[in-house]
Amino acid sequence: MSEALWGAIGAVVGGLLTGGAALGAQVWAARSQANVAQAAYVQQDRVWHRDQRLEAHHAFLDRVQRLIFAAEAVAHPDAGADPDALRTNFRDALVNTMDAFNRIDLVSPAETKDLAANILAAARPGALMSAAEFEGVVRAMGEASRIYRDAARAELKV
């Protein structure tokens, strides 16, 4: 065989090897980028869900506080306060607390939801509105809220 033919064969083989190596590098780079993009998406999704739970926990605890304040206004009304308006405020606070609980039900694990339900179980509306039972009910709600808050913190650290 002539040297020209060997040169052409060498060029073709060299071109194939170089092209194969370049193609392999491109495939490896594309797979690496896809893996990084998928990891970023998973992390973003995890953060989004954590933020949704954080917002739901905050809203629920805020509504529980507002419920306690509304109940205190009914149980220990100021002089000249309109009892019907106070009861309406209490009912509205109770409805808002239940709405916030429904969000907890949607975004939280069963254990955290059960702890939130314990707060609502402690908040017996009849007893909460009674001046004689108000302090005991608020203490029970406070203890249930503390346990719930600790569980929510642990849940959000994951």
Per-residue model confidence as pLDDT tens digits over 98-135: 999 999 998 888 888 898 998 888 877 777 777 788 88
Residue entry with tokens 């980028």: 33
Per-residue model confidence as pLDDT tens digits over 79-102: 888 988 988 998 899 899 999 999
pLDDT at 63: 92
Residues 6+ apart with CB under 8 A from 62: 100
pLDDT at 140: 86
Where do runs of H (alpha helix) occur along the chain?
3-75, 83-107, 110-122, 125-128, 134-157
Distance in angstroms (rounded) separating the CA atoms of residues 111 and 65: 21
The pTM of the whole model exceeds 0.85: no
| Mean pLDDT of the 42-46 span | 86
Residues 6+ apart with CB under 8 A from 152: 53, 57, 108, 112
Distance in angstroms (rounded) separating the CA atoms of residues 100 and 61: 9
Per-residue model confidence as pLDDT tens digits over 58-86: 999 999 999 888 888 888 888 888 988 98
Query: How many Cβ atoms from other residues are within 10 Å of residue 147's Cβ?
Result: 13
- CA triple 125-127-128, angle to 5 deg: 60
Tokens of 104: 């907890």
| Mean pLDDT of the 33-59 span | 88
Q: Residues 137, 124: contact at Cβ < 8 Å?
A: yes
The values of phi and psi at residue 2, to 5°, are: -85, 160
| Mean pLDDT of the 1-24 span | 81
Distance in angstroms (rounded) separating the CA atoms of residues 49 and 64: 23
| Mean pLDDT of the 35-56 span | 87
Residues 6+ apart with CB under 8 A from 98: 120
What's the mean pLDDT when you consider all of the chain?
Answer: 86
